[in-house]
C-alpha cells in the first residue's frame, strides 16, 4: 500500500472514488501483484523448511508486498471481500490482508496457503497488536464470557438436549441458533481443517484456538470495519432481539429509538469521535450508552462497564462495582439530560426491579427450590410443566419488564412484562404447585411436603398477594 503513495495515486480514500475509479485502482494493485509474483522468490517465506532455522521477522514492506499478492487472487475469487477492504479505514491506514491474517509456525490454526503461513481466524489477540486497549476491555467484558456462561446455564440444556436428538448433528438448533450469538470453542480436526460443527462462528464469546476469547467481527463486519455500521442499533440487534432478550425491540419503542430514526440524517455515524451533544443531539444508540465516548468518559469495549443491574437471571443482581458502573452511565445520560431527570429515571427503574424481585423473582425461586427439596420435581430440567412455566416467567416476561424499564419502553414493562408475569405466576405457577402438593398428600406423603406447603401458603398470604383471598 506504500507503493500507492510512491506511485502518487490521486487519492488513498477508496470511498471517494467512483466505481470506475475503484476498478482502475484495483487494476493498479493487480499489476503490482503480478510484478511482485515475479519477485516472490526474494520475499522471505514465513515457514522454514524442516531442519532450517526460522527466518527473520518480515519487515512491514515485505508484509505489504504479500498483501498485494493476496489482492491479486482474491479480486477474482472473492471480489466482495476486496471491495469491502478497499472502502475501509484499514485500506487508508495501509493495513492489508497479510497484516491481519499472518500466522507463525506452531500456531494451532495456522495453514500453509500459497507458500505463506496464514490463519483464517483473526482473533482479538491479533487485533490487539494495533488495538491493545480495546482488546483488553473486550476480554474483561460480559461479551467475552458469552460462550462459557451459556454452557453452564439452563439455556444450554434447552438448546442441546431438549431441542436436540442426542447426536452430534442433533444439536443443530444450538449450532445455528445460540452459538451464532454466544459463540463456542472452535475445534480443529486432525486434518487441520475447522470442525464444521464449530465453524463458521462469529459468536461474541467464541473461544479461539490461540487461547483468546471472542471475535471483533461479531460487531465490526469483517474487511470493511465501518464505524457507522458498528454504531447502528441493528448491529446489536443481531443478537439482542426476540422474546428472551428483546433489547432492539425495546429500544425501537423508546423515545431514544424514535429519535434515532427521525434524526438519522444528522447522526454523523461515521464521525471518528462521535460525541453526544457535539456530533449529534438526538437519538442515542446502543453504542452511545454502553460504549462510546462523551465529554466526561472515554470509549470502552467493555459493554458491562456502565450496567449497574444484571437483569438476565430469575432474581436481579448487583455486584460490588454497581455504584461505579451507574456513575459511568449517568455521565452518558447527562450529555443530553439534567442530573435531576437522570436521578428520577433511576428511582423509577429501581422501583420496577425491586417490585419484580420481591413479588415474583424471589418467591418463585424459593418455591421452585422447595418443590425440588420435597421431591415434587427432579433435577432434570424441563421434565415437568411447572418448570416450563417458571422458565417463561423469568426468562421472557421477567426480562421484558425489567429491561423495558431500563430502556423506557412502556408496553414491554406492562403488557409484555408484568401482565405476563402476573398471569403466569397466579394462573399457572401457583396452581401447578398446589396440584403437585395435593397429589403427594393423596399418595400419603403429607409429612414430606409439609415444608413446601407452608412456603406456598406464606406466598399466597403475603400482603402483596392479599387480593387473591378477596382482601
Please tell me the distance from the alpha carbon of residue 204 to that of residue 316, in angstroms, as a whole number.
23
Residue 204 has a CB neighbour count (10 Å cut-off) of 26
* Residue 72 · residue 39 · CB < 8 Å: no
Per-residue pLDDT, averaged over 356-382, amounts to 97
- Sorted by where each begins, the domain ranges of the chain are 2-120, 132-218, 246-336, 340-469
Per-residue pLDDT, averaged over 167-178, amounts to 85
> Residues 442, 443, 446, 448: is their CA dihedral positive or negative?
negative
* Residues facing residue 113 across a β-bridge: 116
| 12, containing H or E segment | none
* Residues facing residue 317 across a β-bridge: 310
- What Rg, from alpha-carbon coordinates, does the chain have? 27
Is pLDDT of 23 > 70? no
Please tell me the distance from the alpha carbon of residue 362 to that of residue 160, in angstroms, as a whole number.
28
pLDDT band at 8 (very low <50, low <70, confident <90, very high): very low
Q: How far is CA 192 from CA 121, 182, 188, in A?
A: 13, 24, 6
Q: Which residues lie closer than 8 Å to 105 by C-beta, 6 or more apart?
A: 46, 47, 48, 54, 117
Please tell me the distance from the alpha carbon of residue 464 to that of residue 359, in angstroms, as a whole number.
7
pLDDT band at 96 (very low <50, low <70, confident <90, very high): very high
Residue 128 has a CB neighbour count (10 Å cut-off) of 17
* Residue 280 · residue 267 · CB < 8 Å: yes
| Higher-confidence position of 430 and 16 | 430
* Residue 103 · residue 119 · CB < 8 Å: yes
Q: What is the pLDDT of residue 45?
A: 39
* Residue 215 · residue 139 · CB < 8 Å: no
Residue positions counted in the chain: 471
Tell me: the pLDDT tens digits for 239-297?
999 999 999 999 999 999 999 999 999 999 999 999 999 999 999 999 999 999 999 99
Is pLDDT of 131 > 70? yes
Q: What is the pLDDT of residue 57?
A: 66
Picking from 156, 68, 169, 188, the residue whose alpha carbon sits closest to that of residue 116 is: 68
The SS3 of residue 243 is coil
Is pLDDT of 166 > 50? yes
C-alpha cell at 110: 495456522
Q: What is the pLDDT of residue 22?
A: 54
Is pLDDT of 4 > 80? no
Q: What is the pLDDT of residue 207?
A: 96
C-alpha cell at 197: 460443527
Please tell me the distance from the alpha carbon of residue 79 to that of residue 81, in angstroms, as a whole number.
5
pLDDT band at 152 (very low <50, low <70, confident <90, very high): confident
CB burial of 432-448 (b: ≥16 within 10 Å; e: otherwise) equals bbeebbeebeeeeeeeb
pLDDT band at 369 (very low <50, low <70, confident <90, very high): very high
Phi, psi of 82 (to 5 degrees): -65, -40
* Residues facing residue 117 across a β-bridge: 112
The SS3 of residue 365 is helix
Strands in 94-178 per DSSP E: 110-113, 116-119
Half-sphere exposure of 351 (CA within 13 A, CB side): 7
Q: What is the pLDDT of residue 100?
A: 94
Helices 362-373 + 450-460 axis angle, to 10: 160
pLDDT band at 26 (very low <50, low <70, confident <90, very high): low
C-alpha cell at 142: 460480559
Please tell me the distance from the alpha carbon of residue 134 to that of residue 291, in angstroms, as a whole number.
11
**DSSP strand pairing (110-113 vs 116-119):** antiparallel
Is pLDDT of 363 > 70? yes
Q: How far is CA 404 from CA 237, 251, 318, 359, in A?
A: 15, 8, 18, 18
C-alpha cell at 42: 526474494
Amino acid at each position: 500500500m506504500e507503493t500507492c503513495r510512491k506511485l502518487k495515486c490521486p487519492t488513498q480514500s477508496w470511498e471517494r472514488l467512483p466505481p470506475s475509479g475503484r476498478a482502475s485502482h484495483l487494476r493498479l494493485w493487480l499489476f503490482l501483484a503480478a510484478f511482485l509474483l515475479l519477485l516472490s522468490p526474494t520475499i522471505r517465506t514465513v515457514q522454514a523448511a524442516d531442519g532450517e532455522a526460522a527466518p527473520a521477522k518480515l519487515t512491514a514492506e515485505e508484509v505489504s508486498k504479500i498483501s498485494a499478492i493476496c489482492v491479486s487472487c482474491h479480486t477474482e475469487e472473492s471480489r466482495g471481500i476486496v471491495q469491502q477492504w478497499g472502502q475501509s479505514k484499514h485500506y487508508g491506514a495501509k493495513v492489508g490482508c497479510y497484516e491481519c491474517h499472518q500466522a507463525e509456525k506452531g500456531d494451532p490454526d495456522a495453514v500453509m496457503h500459497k507458500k505463506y503461513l496464514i490463519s483464517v481466524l483473526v482473533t482479538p489477540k491479533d487485533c490487539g497488536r494495533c488495538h491493545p486497549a480495546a482488546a483488553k476491555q473486550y476480554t474483561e467484558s460480559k461479551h467475552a464470557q458469552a460462550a462459557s456462561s451459556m454452557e453452564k446455564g439452563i439455556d444450554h440444556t434447552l438448546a442441546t438436549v431438549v431441542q436436540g436428538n442426542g447426536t452430534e448433528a442433533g444439536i443443530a438448533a444450538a449450532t445455528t441458533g445460540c452459538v451464532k450469538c454466544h459463540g463456542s470453542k472452535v475445534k480443529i480436526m486432525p486434518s487441520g481443517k475447522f470442525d464444521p460443527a464449530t465453524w463458521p462462528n462469529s459468536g461474541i464469546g467464541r473461544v479461539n484456538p490461540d487461547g483468546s476469547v471472542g471475535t471483533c467481527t461479531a460487531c465490526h463486519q469483517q474487511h470493511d470495519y465501518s464505524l457507522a455500521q458498528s454504531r447502528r442499533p441493528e448491529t446489536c440487534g443481531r443478537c439482542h432481539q426476540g422474546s428472551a432478550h428483546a433489547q432492539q425491540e425495546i429500544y425501537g419503542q423508546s423515545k431514544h429509538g424514535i429519535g434515532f430514526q427521525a434524526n438519522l440524517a444528522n447522526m454523523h455515524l461515521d464521525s471518528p469521535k462521535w460525541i453526544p451533544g457535539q456530533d449529534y443531539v438526538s437519538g442515542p444508540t446502543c453504542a452511545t450508552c454502553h460504549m462510546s465516548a462523551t465529554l466526561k468518559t472515554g470509549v470502552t469495549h467493555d459493554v458491562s462497564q456502565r450496567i449497574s443491574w444484571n437483569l438476565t437471571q430469575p432474581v436481579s443482581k448487583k455486584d460490588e462495582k454497581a455504584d461505579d458502573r451507574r456513575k459511568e452511565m449517568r455521565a452518558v445520560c447527562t450529555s443530553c439530560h439534567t442530573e435531576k431527570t437522570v436521578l428520577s429515571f433511576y428511582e423509577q427503574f429501581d422501583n420496577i426491579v425491586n417490585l419484580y424481585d420481591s413479588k415474583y423473582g424471589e418467591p418463585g425461586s424459593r418455591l421452585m427450590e422447595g418443590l425440588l427439596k420435597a421431591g415434587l420435581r427432579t433435577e432434570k430440567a424441563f421434565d415437568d410443566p411447572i418448570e416450563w412455566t417458571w422458565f417463561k416467567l423469568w426468562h421472557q416476561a421477567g426480562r421484558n419488564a425489567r429491561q423495558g424499564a431500563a430502556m423506557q419502553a412502556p408496553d414491554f414493562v406492562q403488557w409484555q412484562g408484568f401482565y405476563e408475569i402476573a398471569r403466569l405466576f397466579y394462573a399457572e405457577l401457583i396452581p401447578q404447585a398446589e396440584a403437585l402438593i395435593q397429589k403427594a398428600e393423596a399418595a400419603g406423603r403429607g409429612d414430606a411436603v409439609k415444608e413446601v406447603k407452608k412456603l406456598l401458603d406464606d406466598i399466597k398470604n403475603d400482603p402483596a398477594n392479599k387480593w387473591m383471598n378477596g382482601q
